[in-house]
Structure 1
Amino acid sequence: MNNNSNSLAKLLPMMLCFFAMGFVDLVGIASNYVKADLNLTDSQANIFPSLVFFWFLIFSVPTGMLMNRIGRKKTVLLSLAVTFASLLLPVFGDGYALMLISFSLLGIGNALMQTSLNPLLSNVVSGERLASSLTFGQFVKAIASFLAPYIAMWGATQAIPSLGMGWRVLFPIYMVIAVVAILWLGTTSIHEEKEEGRPSTFGECLALLGKPFILLCFLGIMCHVGIDVGTNTTAPKILMERLGMSLADAGFATSLYFIFRTAGCFLGAFILQKLSARTFFGISVLCMLVAMVGLFVFHEMTMIYVCIALIGFGNSNIFPIIFSQALLAMPQKKNEVSGLMIMGLFGGTIFPLAMGVASDAIGQSGAVAVMTVGVLYLFFYMMKIKR
């Protein structure tokens, strides 16, 4: 009983850290509000989500090296401190340069957190419980993701006028949660085992991209994150363009996406016990492919919402399936493979930039076309998954 209570006491602060990990997804709805406030084009506004995920390319592998020096818990605490700083800046305004710095720090903090929090969790739970705990962590993370548009919408329409913050009230609310996470995790004792063998180098990690299946997995992660960030950012714009909705009303589309993505994360743990990874992956990709076709065709609010929900559910379990496939392909190189897969989150930089250019040229259908390319790649990847 004492062991269970002790494990729970260590698990709860880490689940709050997973919630803080979800703060990164506020960039989608926030970029739409910044676009409206500053009269930006789609290309200019999409720099914000692109900038957030750019830092995964730079920081994922070095973070693994940092963990070898200072430990996993201290690395997670550092990530929370950087996240706190990113959330503090918008309290002072929403100028273009200020928001660029804020979103950069948000991306750096999240890169540190994504790389270090999962390994830290393995110090508290192990074996079969680790997989379920990681899945539950993703579920908790998704809660923060779909709450962000609601909080921003509340701030834009209902918040106390004297605060003078509007939608930016989202930042201090999440900032307070980050502070609680720092204090709670900081006072929690967690024993970390020392890594065996020589730490991986940056070159050794990148060299694994020479393995064909690892490269396919890396590109798959890039497409998954590109579709995720792309839908998060573009869904409200589609409703505004086709139905003339206000941003406050259209912001529900982002929440809808994350509601179904959260449900997908929760259900995926049970579905994968009944279906093979390849079968479930195929169903997930089919959901997204149908949705992309629908977003080209439909102009009715209900059908657009159905398409967004299908993307949310379909994209919810793509990451864990690809990640596990990569680890199974090279079990002797788990650290290097893990670093590469986290680096693949850089797809969140490439897709929004391409989508911004395409939507400026031909409207939001151009952005949908870019995401469709990612879905088609995932269909190709499915054929390479072992039965």
Structure 2
Amino acid sequence: MSDLQRPHYRGALVIVTSIFFMWGFLTCLNDILIPHLKAVFALNYTQTMLIQFTFFGAYFVMSLPMGKLLARVGYKSAISLGLSIAAVGAVMFYPAARAPSYPLFLAALFVLASGITLLQVAANPYVSLLGPESSASSRLNLAQAFNSLGTTLAPHIGGGLILGAAVLGADQLASLGEAERLAYQSQQAHSVQLPYLVLAGVLALLALVVAAWKLPQFKERARDTSDSGSAGALEVLRHRHVRLGVIGIFVYVGAEVAIGSFLINYLSLPEIGGMRESDAATYVSYYWGGAMLGRFVGAALMRKIRPGLLLGLFALIAAGLTLTTMLSLGQLALWSVVLIGLFNSIMFPTIFTLGIAKLGPLTGKASSLLIMAIVGGAIIPLAQGAIADRVGLHHAFVLPLLCYLFIAYYGLRGSRVITPQPETATRA
């Protein structure tokens, strides 16, 4: 379309790409919050994983309402509103730390994630509209690369600001008197106030820029892509590659988030890395940085290898690395778990693309279901936390191992498009 090739869309793409960076940064900052709040509130692994359960649960709870909001206000206003909601969530970290209160931290995370959910629903398709259809995939890959840059930098910056001060172990914390314990918790919790207030300011500034900038609304396009009722969902789920693709997104996001969430605590174990939590945060940057690097490598490989096959191979390697870290100790266990990030890289966009393949007018409905499947980031880390509390963190990685094996199956066999038989549709 010629009207989508005007020069001012370059500015719009720059703004939206910066938003991809911000939500990647905010999402990965949870990996720093997890060991910090675990120590401050003396939580077990299951309780700590309520952080990711709350954050990614917002995707499931809020995605449909946010889709309806998008249809009502258009892309530009939805993006500005999403940034504003996320800014409110970031500000809520101040009273949560002042209390200090773990439930208030979870409430702040839910509001923050609700804003990011609206950004996810609006910004991904918006990028595809900011130029010719033929280069939509290229633009989205560029935006996602900046999202990965955010996830790479967050552990490094957040680790220095939030995990810089040494924290007491569970035994030391238990030995404190009630007044001393409350004073210690308050002091440690306050370390998150300044970083999140700064982030709130950046988000609010971005919201104002988006609102003031002459960006296209594409309001009619927003209405066209918002139809995701239950009847449409049932219709699209008759397609096998969509059903399995929804499961694929669920287990992929769950495995990726679970590994990132436990990485600092895992590397701090004496038999693995035996390092300080602030030092372990550097390896979290390597984990997410590998995903960023792998996207560029994967994009080049896909020119010669079909996406399903490459997805299957990457998933098998990730499964092998997961098994290696479970069966080894020291540096081998350390680097095998960190290297999983490199092979996570192509999984989300490839599963997503395979899941919406050859659906025609049902594409929008399938996309909505795949986005809702991001709730795997809430369920699987919580389940791994429960396993870790029973058998230890080292062997709790069996859950991501099973996830990667399913993804390998999906890439090699499950993603093949099989058209539903007409009589199946008639019976339904």
- TM-score normalized with structure 1 length: 0.92
Q: Secondary structure at the match of 1:122?
A: helix
Give 2:22's match in structure 1, choosing from 2, 7, 20.
Answer: 20
Deviation at 1:183? 2.1
1:82·1:108 contact (CA, 8 Å) conserved in 2?
Answer: yes
Matching residue's letter, 2:250: M
Deviation at 1:368, TM superposition (A): 0.3
2:402 maps to which of 361, 366, 373:
373
Specify the alignment match of 2:171 in structure 1. Answer: none
Q: Which residue of 2 aligns with 1:275?
A: 305
SS of 2:129's equivalent in the other structure is: coil
Between the aligned partners of 1:275 and 1:201, the Cα distance in structure 2 is: 33
2:250 pairs with 209, 216, 222, which one? 222
1:340 maps to a residue whose letter is: L
Q: Is 1:63 matched up with 2:61? A: no
- One-letter identity of the residue aligned with 1:359: A
Displacement of 1:172: 2.7
1:132 — aligned with what? 138
Give matches, 1:68-83, under 5 Å: 68-83=71-86
Distance 1:225 1:270 in 2: 23
CA contact (8 A) 1:7 1:124 kept: yes
Q: Which amino acid aligns with 1:14?
A: V
Checking the alignment, whether the CA contact within 8 Å between 1:236 and 1:252 is kept in structure 2 is: no
Q: Give runs of ≥4 in structure 1 deviating > 6 Å.
A: none
SS for the counterpart of 2:237 is helix
- 8 A Cα contact 1:75 1:113, kept in partner: yes
What secondary structure does 2:368 align onto? helix
The answer to whether the 8 Å contact 2:241/2:354 transfers is no
The answer as to 2:277 corresponding to 1:260 is no
Q: CA deviation at 1:311?
A: 1.3
Distance in 2, matches of 1:129 and 1:45, equals 42
1:203 aligns with 2:230: yes
Tell me if the contact between 1:83 and 1:109 (Cα under 8 Å) persists in the aligned partners: yes
Q: Could you tell me whether the CA contact under 8 Å between 1:62 and 1:202 is conserved in 2? A: no
Distance 1:55 1:197, change over 3 A: closer
Distance in 2, matches of 1:53 and 1:219, equals 16
Q: Aligned-pair distance for 1:100? A: 0.7
Structure 2 CA distance for partners of 1:9 and 1:199, relative to 1, 3 Å: closer
- The one-letter amino acid of 1:184's match is V
Structure number with greater Rg is: 2
Structure 2: state its 5+ residue gaps.
166-186, 418-428
Aligned 1:1-387 pairs, distance under 5 A? 5-22=7-24, 23-92=26-95, 93=97, 94-156=100-162, 165-191=190-216, 192=218, 194-195=220-221, 200-207=227-234, 208-241=236-269, 242=271, 243-301=273-331, 303-382=332-411, 383-386=413-416
CA contact (8 A) 1:136 1:266 kept: no
- How far the C-alpha of 1:289 sits from its partner, in A, is 1.1
Question: How far has the Cα of 1:167 moved from its partner?
Answer: 5.0
Instruction: Return the offset for 1:4.
Output: 6.1
Q: Which amino acid aligns with 1:179?
A: A
- SS in structure 1 of the partner of residue 414 of structure 2: coil
Note the alpha carbon deviations across 1:20-67, whole angstroms, 9 max, x for none: 221122112211111111111101000111111111112223322222
Q: Deviations over 1:165-207 (max 9, x none)?
A: 4355432332233123212222222221513769524313431
1:126 Cα deviation after fit: 2.7
Give the drift of 1:95.
2.2
CA displacement at 1:283 relative to structure 2: 2.4
Deviations 1:54-85 (A, max 9, x none): 11112223322222111111111111111111
Superimposed CA distance per residue, residues 285-317 of structure 1 (whole angstroms, 9 cap, x where no aligned partner): 12211211111122113x234223331111111
**Deviation at residue 210 of structure 1 after TM alignment:** 3.8
Normalised by the length of structure 2, the TM-score is 0.84
> Shift of residue 247 of structure 1?
1.4
In the alignment, the residues of structure 1 paired with residue 287 and residue 193 of structure 2 have an alpha-carbon distance, to the nearest angstrom, of 21
Decide whether aligned partners of structure 1 residues 176 and 163 sit closer, same or farther in structure 2, where only a CA change above 3 A counts: farther
Structure with greater helix share of residues = 1
Q: CA RMSD in A?
A: 2.4
